[in-house]
Structures are given as structure tokens and as C-alpha cells.
Amino acid sequence: MCSEGHGIDALVRSFKEAEIHGLVEISTFELWLEGPMAEAKETVNFFSSPPTAGPALRRKIVELGMPSRKVERFLERLIIRPQQPTRLHIDAVILQYIGALWPALSTPERESIFGDLLEAAQQAQANEHRTATVVARLAEQLHGSPETTRASSSQEMTGIDSLATQTLTRTSLLSRVPPLQGATREDLLARIKNGEVTSALELKMRAAGVTKQTIDLAQGLRAVAEIGRQEVLGSRPDAISTLERLERRVLQTADATATRARLMAGGNPAIASQPGEYVVAELLSQPMQLAHLDSDRLFQADSNLVFGFLCHLSDTCKYWWQA
């Protein structure tokens, strides 16, 4: 614990950094330790009241770089919390929470999301993600070079200087995870407005509990259907009006399917947790019905292309995959 590179060493460095910025008086320095503490009386006393540390412990702290005259000040602000869960236990609990929030995710997807969230937290703590943001680029342009911007962080920050400060915001975290099931349309539109990297189609499907495999299928059909839609727009003088008629028919059928999913959800937990997955399965399992909707043969009455057209409508915020 008091060896170089371990907990007390890190807190000594934190103390010295806080002192540089004049923050020691409002700071505490906490050391969280896995498992139970040793039963030696000196250790028990030190953990419960760090200022009672004996000469040997104080010498070790001095050897870590703490001036002897400041050891007492450091110990007064030191808090030691033993019997904390292990990293493996914490990781397992968080992965369980992620699985409960997004039951449609596979284990690799849950682990990927957890990794992204950890990366976001580490970048925010180290202020490393600053140069990857629009705000930071604006700050650099208005304030000077990245080195100048970084140097200003150690001074009082006002005006443009504040643009260089990056924090771990709710918006930045939400951008790294799928939308929660039950997210409102306003929530999804806000994410799209804020520059969500995920396509609107995938965002809506994720919110409706659709699996990644099904989303990949939908995106593929949407891409093929888009080629057909562009060909129709370029070859038929009545393309817009006929596409609008097809849109009304497709949305009517899709909305009815989503309503059926909502009505069945009360007695079927699987549908309740993944209404969008049910909607996709129901539509694709009835190719004749989808093909019949294309009465003007804009897509040669191909059920897959009609479904792809529905995905295009979802991408333009006209369909949400759940009622």
C-alpha cells in the first residue's frame, strides 16, 4: 500500500498537484482497497484514523516524495476504505446492469459498450478527448495552439478559456450507448439533433429492442431499396405521387403491426421487451402481403425491397418500430 506505484504513492502525487492549484484545503484523498484489512493493531488504527500513523509509516510517506512538514496535513485529509469489491466483481455487476437495460444485446456488444464507457470516463479524467471535439477545435482556433489551451487550464479560466474544459456529460455518455427501450420520440430526435453517429434507422430499432443481426439485415435491405427508389425517381414522371401512395400503404400496414405488438405485449414478455423484433419478424414472415402493397410495381412487387422502403421511411423519422 505504501510502496512506490501503489495507492499512497498515487495520493501523494495527487496531494502535491492539488497544492499547486491551491485546492488542498477543500480536498480529501481516498484510498479504496479490495478485501479486508490486516488485523495488526497498527494497521487497524491507521485505517480508522490516518493521523495516528507511527514513525515507520510516516517515513515511508516521506520516501514517496512528501515533504516531512506536510505529512500531517496529508494524513488529516486521507481516508482509507477497505473491504471494497474487486475489479472483477465490479465489472461483472456493471455488465449485468447493461444487460438488464438492453436485453437485446449480445455479450460481446455489452462488453463493447462497457469498454466505450470506461474509455469516455478515462478520457474525461485525463482531459484527453478535448482535441476530438468540435468545442475544443473552436477553442484552439480562438485561443491559440493546443499547448496554449492546455497551459491555460492551470490558471483561472474565463471566457474562451472555459471552452477548453471538457467534462463527462450525460450527452456524451448517451452518444456511446443504444437508446433505452421506451425512449420517447423526443429523446431520439434530440440524439439525432445532437449529432448522433448512429443512423436514425438503427437508433429507432435499438430503442424498440431489435437485435444487431436484424438491424444489419434491415440496413442492407434499406440500401438496396434506396437504389430502386432513386431509379424510380429518375425514370417515372409520376414517381413522387406513386411513392407517396406506396408510403401511405406501407405505413398503414407497419403501424397496424406495431399496434398488434403493443396489444400482445401484456401477455407476452418477449414481445414486451423486444416489440421491434416482433414487428420485423411479422412483416418479413408475410412476403405476399408486403408485395401486394406495391400495386404500382415501383419495386417489382419485391417484398424485401418494400421492407427496405419502410426502413427508408424510418430513417426519415416516419416510422418508429413500436406503437
Residues 6+ apart with CB under 8 A from 288: 303
Among 291, 312, 86, which residue's Cα sits nearest to residue 199? 312
Dihedral (CA of 289, 295, 300, 304) sign:
negative
- Grid cell in block for residue 295: 400495386
Question: Where in the sequence is the domain holding 75, given as residue range(s)?
Answer: 7-84
321 lies in some domain? no
Tens-place pLDDT, residues 118-152: 988 888 776 654 444 454 455 555 555 444 444 44
Regarding whether 173 and 236 lie in a shared domain, the answer is: no
Regarding whether 306 and 225 lie in a shared domain, the answer is: yes
pLDDT of res. 148: 46
Regarding whether 206 and 309 lie in a shared domain, the answer is: yes
pLDDT of res. 268: 95
pLDDT of res. 121: 84
185 lies in some domain? no
Contact predicate 49/72, CB 8 Å? no
217 lies in some domain? yes
pLDDT of res. 145: 47
95 lies in some domain? no
Residues 6+ apart with CB under 8 A from 200: 188, 192, 314, 315, 316, 317
Contact predicate 27/77, CB 8 Å? yes
pLDDT of res. 174: 82
Among 253, 249, 300, 258, which residue's Cα sits nearest to residue 276? 258
Residue 193 CA: distances (Å) to CA of 188, 199, 219, 232: 9, 12, 21, 30
Q: Buried b vs exposed e over 61-78: b needs ≥16 C-beta within 10 Å?
A: beebebeeebbebbbebb
Tens-place pLDDT, residues 162-172: 444 557 788 77
Low-confidence ranges of the chain (pLDDT < 70): 1, 126-166, 195-197
- Grid cell in block for residue 289: 402481403
91 lies in some domain? no
Picking from 178, 208, 239, the residue at the C-terminal end of a domain is 178
Picking from 21, 49, 84, the residue at the C-terminal end of a domain is 84
pLDDT of res. 199: 86
Q: Is 321 left (phi over 0), alpha (psi -120 to 50) or beta?
A: left
Regarding whether 237 and 205 lie in a shared domain, the answer is: yes
Regarding whether 165 and 66 lie in a shared domain, the answer is: no
37 lies in some domain? yes
The whole model's pTM is what?
A: 0.60
- Grid cell in block for residue 230: 432513386
DSSP 161: G
Picking from 24, 49, 84, the residue at the C-terminal end of a domain is 84
Contact predicate 142/154, CB 8 Å? no
Residues 6+ apart with CB under 8 A from 227: none
Among 34, 37, 29, 33, which residue's Cα sits nearest to residue 10? 29
190 lies in some domain? no
Regarding whether 273 and 231 lie in a shared domain, the answer is: yes
pLDDT of res. 153: 45
Q: Which amino acid is present at 39?
A: E
92 lies in some domain? no
Number of domains in the chain: 3
pLDDT of res. 1: 66
